[in-house]
Amino acid sequence: MPILQSHHFWAMNCSMAAWVYSDDSAAIGALCQVEDWMRLVEAELSRFLPQSGLSCLNAVAGAPYRAGDILWQATSLALDTARVTSGRFDPTLGRALGAAGYDRSFDLLAPDEVDAMSLPHQPGAWQQVILDAEARTITLPTGAALDLGGIAKGWAADAALRLLEPFGPALVDAGGDLAIGAPPPHTDGWRLGIVDPLQPESDVAIVQLAGCGLATSGTDHRRWRQRGRMQHHIIDPSTGLPANTDLLTASVIAPTAVEADIHALILAAGGLAAAHSWLRDHPHLSAFLIHNDGAPFQSHNFADHVISYFPIYRT
Amino acid sequence: MRTAARNTRGRNTGARALVAALAVGATLGGWALIAHDAQVASTTTIDPVADSALASNAATLRLEPLPTVESPPGNLDEIYSSQLAPADSSALQAAPLFTLPRETMLQPLARSRSSN
């Protein structure tokens, strides 16, 4: 009789968890491997660890850098995604994030004031990144810096799910980016909440999902103040500045967690009007959006996944 | 569960390398999927059948506002007291202001939130 086994841990400055329904005692080992995997990804892709592969790559921008497997795979995926999305997703915004004040792990940011040198933005710098598959080297344009925060957790969650799936139906939560496996025994899917950004202890909707990804991106989290202005970590690739968006959060259901992660980020940065056309052009996505004024919106197909909506009180 | 899991945790580098190899290798599927999506997207712009499908999607995949529920007016104590059964004091219970479907009372296992 499969039982639900779980493992909770902290990585990438987020709370993470993994679950698997299994009667195999080895499943516990697999759950621990998920933590090991997340720590490996963090050690290689963090912008804030000076010895990470990403930091070393950014430090030698302009010259080829021989990348390890994780950095190579993640960078390749990020650049491929930039091409597919015509730059709506841009992994070369590391300098812009630093210029906006997000230049250290979020828990180390000063609560009120951050000051940083503003550097000229290089729109479309991702097009100048050179990957040499034979030599396994990555060359960034001079002055550019990679930031893989927009895909790292979703990508890592998808991979972690593959570690657990041989043991039974599994679920991985990488800081709110969810990789969702086969449904639990005798159910149609995993019961999952979407956090209300205005009342984070509550959910705005409960959905039931299996075999897909769910991710949320928004300006409600990781805010700081710079020179008297509130800043957030969603950067507009065209300006290099925190996006002037009318959306508080965007939650997306997609075939994988990394796809959900990417599209949630694009929707959150683009705002409500742009979301209409983006979702029309990507009909395989389902989306749930919260406007800055608290009003919720959903794509028509999102309702197919919803078990219930919670009343949203706006007084 | 957490304690048990930690006690059995493997610490040799060989196991960690296996984790990395498995996990990295497994991501190739997701990568291919995104590339596949790009291929489909480029096809739809030139295929009249796909164009009509796109037009159909435009009709069905619109964003629609959800209704919001206003907080009930008035003093909360008054609302509760007005819903108490007056005759049988032994059955006194505060009635819920709103009744949600039964399934909403169950906590979700995980919650999606922004944290990038």
Quick one: three-class SS letters along B10-61?
Answer: CCCHHHHHHHHHHHHHHCHHHHHHHHHHHHHHHHHCCCHHHHHHHHHHHHHC
Nearest to B115 among A14, A280, A315 (CB): A14
Task: Show pLDDT as tens, one digit a residue, over chain A (315 residues).
Answer: 899 999 999 999 999 999 999 999 999 999 999 999 999 999 999 999 999 999 999 999 999 999 999 999 999 999 999 999 999 999 998 887 666 555 555 555 554 444 444 456 778 899 999 999 999 999 999 999 999 988 999 999 999 999 999 999 999 999 999 999 999 999 999 999 999 898 888 888 899 999 999 999 998 765 555 556 656 678 888 888 888 899 999 999 999 999 999 999 999 999 999 998 999 999 999 999 998 888 888 898 998 998 888 765 544
Return the pLDDT at B58: 40
Cβ of B34 within 8 Å of Cβ of A214? The answer is: no
Q: Is B99 exposed, middle or buried (0-12, 13-18, 19+ CB in 10 A)?
A: exposed
CA-to-CA distance for B3 and A254, rounded, in angstroms?
34
Of A297, A304, A222, A236, which is closest to residue A270 (Cα–Cα)? A236
Q: State both tokens at A54.
A: 């990403």
Strand pairing class (B110-112; A296-299)? unpaired
For A200, which residue in chain B has the nearest alpha carbon? B113
CB neighbourhood size of B98 (10 A): 9
Partner-chain contact A297 B106, CB within 8 Å: no
Selected for mutation to probe chain B from A203, A212, A247 (highest B CB count within 10 Å) is A203
Q: Find residues 161-190 of chain A whose CB sits inside 8 Å of chain B.
A: 162-163, 171, 173, 175-178, 190
- Radius of gyration for the alpha carbons in chain B, expressed in angstroms and rounded: 28
| pLDDT tens readout for residues B70-110 | 444 444 444 333 333 333 333 333 333 333 454 445 678 99
Give the position of tokens 């009372």. B105
Q: What are phi and psi of A160, to 5 degrees?
A: -65, -35
Quote ipTM for the complex. Answer: 0.82
User: What is the full DSSP assignment across A221-282?
Assistant: SSEEEETTEEEES-EETTTTEE---SEEEEEEEESSHHHHHHHHHHHHHH-HHHHHHHHHH-
pLDDT of residue A128: 96
Q: Are B8 and A51 in contact (CB under 8 A)?
A: no
CB contact under 8 A, A29 and B8: yes
Residues 6 or more apart in contact with residue A77 via CB below 8 angstroms: A151, A155, A258, B27, B30, B31, B34
Task: Tell me what pLDDT residue A232 has.
Answer: 66
A314 min Cα distance to partner chain B (Å): 6
Question: Nearest-CA distance from B84 to chain A in Å?
Answer: 23
pLDDT given for residue B22 in this prediction: 57
- How is residue A301 annotated by DSSP? G
pTM exceeds 0.95: no
